[in-house]
Chains A and B, each alone.
Chain A
Amino acid sequence: MSGEPIIEMRDVTVPSRRHIETPSIEGVNWTVREKDFWIVGGLQGSGKSDLIFMLGGLTKPLCGSYTVYGQDMTQHFGDEFLPCRLRMGVVFDDSRLLNHLTMAENIALPARYHHDLHTADAGEWVGELMKATGVQEFAHNTPSVVAWHWRRRAALARALALRPELLFLENPLRGLDGRQTAWWVAFVKQLARGHDLMRGRPTTVIVSTDEFRPWRGAEAQFALLEAKTFVVAGNTIPEDDAPLTQMVVGGGT
């Protein structure tokens, strides 16, 4: 128990992001506290992305009680949700950068829009973000000519541009090689502990993954998505005899 509860879910049914009337995960009871670091595992199609979409305020729960920073997410879904949304960042596994902007412009966009800045005024902060995520050499390229793993890093930089207190990462390790995986795990751990970019403030991080193995050793809490249910496993990687769990864990302990 590291801090105040910031996300509270009671009997929440998470909708599918593609068919928003269809439930993807049912009966979610979950409390996320300030400075928590959660790893949510599940195989492909288990609803990890649907959960991240709902957590990020992109879909509404089908039923149940869901609050973020005390705001009822089943009721508020317009401009009244904006102050709450600006405290969150979402990183999509397919990056979803705007293709008509350069990488630097993509990263600058949230800061420019919400603080009403000229491109030059955001330049220094964007430079720091690009340097920290290692994408500075692609600053003037549009996303379509940059390899997808660099685009995902740029999406992380964009999500950090407003210094969010709460960060959702949709399967950030999907398809990465060992070097990239190591970078992401180290960077996310640093964010959870308190990164210089965030002025040393620990960020509450929720990561979805289809394999727990890379996250071993992280001072995180774990949860598993299995058969449309959300199972909180606590501070240790879930280890049981269920074949599905074994697959997510990565071949036992």
Chain B
Amino acid sequence: MEQGTASLPELAHEKSILWRAPLPPSYINFVGRKLLRFILTVQGLGAFALITIGVMVSKFGVAPRVIHPLVRAHLARSGVRLFGMVMFVSFVLGLVVIGQTVSLLQRVNANQYLGVVMVTVVVRELGPLLTALIVLSRTGTANVIELGTARALGEVEALESLGIDPIHYLVVPRVVGMALGIFSLTIYLILGALFSGYLWAFLQDVPLRPGDYLAQLAASLRALDFVTLAIKTSLFGAIIATVTCYHGLAQPLRLEEVSSATIRAVAQSVILCMIVDALFIVIYLVA
């Protein structure tokens, strides 16, 4: 059969034969390699996270005059400098959520659920996740590039030769700064989205007074929301910082490998944040 002349049934038949045929050894090798790489990555990330926690505890009071300014600098980078972008996103998020739900709720005369929708969508889910993704794209990628370049240029060995723990100097400030940054930005994003949500509802002539809207929000919020929001956003920050620092620092890198390390770090950060988010949904369902 010439290539390109097969009919669809013929192609389907060929495909079914391929499905039944044993996998070629090379394919098994491919899957095996992927699996091994996944296990090694999980192991490496876990070990790196444990080492980072160990250093945070054991060197808690070491060189505060050097480490605290670094924490503040990373907090500024992962928080303050992203404030404008986060406020823009929060404004759009309020529009998107309200724009989609108002017409739906009006159709079934259920405007009293506007607050519930905002709390469920913005406070519990999209707020923390969107903030984490913004910080990952703006600061997480920069982490991998900076640390990967520093590693490739031998700066890590230089720190070790000076008796400075690279994890303490390079990783701990990033983890603390990013955890605090995502936590703070999420609060601003949520407040902005709740405000802009009401603004859009007002512009769409939804008969809802500000007091009623706030009452709906207050009624929908539980104490657990505040606790899980703090834990979840801090965890997102810690995860993004740990994964990006791991890919920048943990293995010897050549300069040409920095870009692929950045791609891996972003993908793994997104996956881990999604997994953590899913775990928190389970907590909500159980609690």
Contacts and interface: CB of A to CB of B under 8 A. Distances in A.
B165 to A, nearest CB: 8
B160 A113 contact: no
Interface size class of B (residues with CB under 8 A): 20 to 34
Interface string B153-178: 11101111111110001000000000
Interface stretch (B63-71, B191-199, B225-233): B63-71
B250 interface: no
Contact of B155 (A86, A98, A117): A98
Contacts of B153: 94, 96, 99
A116 B158 contact: no
B146 interface: yes
Interface size class of A (residues with CB under 8 A): 20 to 34
Given A94-B154, A98-B150, A98-B155, A58 B63 contact: no
A109 B164 contact: yes
B163 A85 contact: yes
B162 A110 contact: yes
A61 interface: no
A112 interface: yes
A171 to B, nearest CB: 14
Contacts of B155: 96-99
A112 B154 contact: no
A82 B252 CA distance: 23
Contacts of B149: 99
Given A96-B154, A96-B155, A98-B150, A90 B163 contact: no
A90 B146 CA distance: 23
B257 to A, nearest CB: 14
25 contacts: A18-B252, A56-B161, A57-B160, A79-B58, A85-B161, A90-B161, A96-B153, A96-B154, A98-B155, A98-B159, A99-B150, A99-B153, A100-B146, A109-B66, A109-B162, A110-B164, A113-B66, A116-B63, A116-B64, A116-B66, A117-B65, A118-B65, A158-B162, A159-B161, A162-B163
